[in-house]
Amino acid sequence: MGQMQAIGKCINCHRQFSFNPDYVTSVRVNGVKEPVCHSCIISANTDRKSKGIPLIPEHPQAYAPAECM
């Protein structure tokens, strides 16, 4: 039993970050799911909250290592 994490660039801020590919929040760009970092989700949710728009949900394990066999 081991753990894994994906490393990629946030589609919004272009910073590199690690994430669990099964749970990370993502957006589709040209049909491809692109990951979004935690900082950008917080920023977007702050803006969405002030406008009364539903918040973007984050899975609790989105940025934690994934268990693998």
Domains of the chain by residue range: 2-68
**The residue type at 29:** V
Average pLDDT value for the chain: 93
User: What's residue 4's pLDDT?
Assistant: 81
Q: Report the C-alpha gap between 27 and 24 in whole angstroms.
A: 10
Q: Report the C-alpha gap between 22 and 19 in whole angstroms.
A: 9
pTM: 0.85
What share of the chain in percent tops pLDDT 70?
97
Kindly list the distances between the CA atom of residue 13 and the CA atoms of 2, 20, 22, 36, 39, in Å, as whole numbers in the listed order: 30, 18, 21, 8, 9
User: Strand pairing of 32-35 and 6-9?
Assistant: unpaired
Region of poorest pLDDT, from 9-13, 28-32, 59-63, 65-69: 65-69
State the pLDDT confidence band at 46, using cuts at 50, 70 and 90.
Answer: very high
User: What's residue 34's pLDDT?
Assistant: 96
Q: Report the C-alpha gap between 35 and 15 in whole angstroms.
A: 11
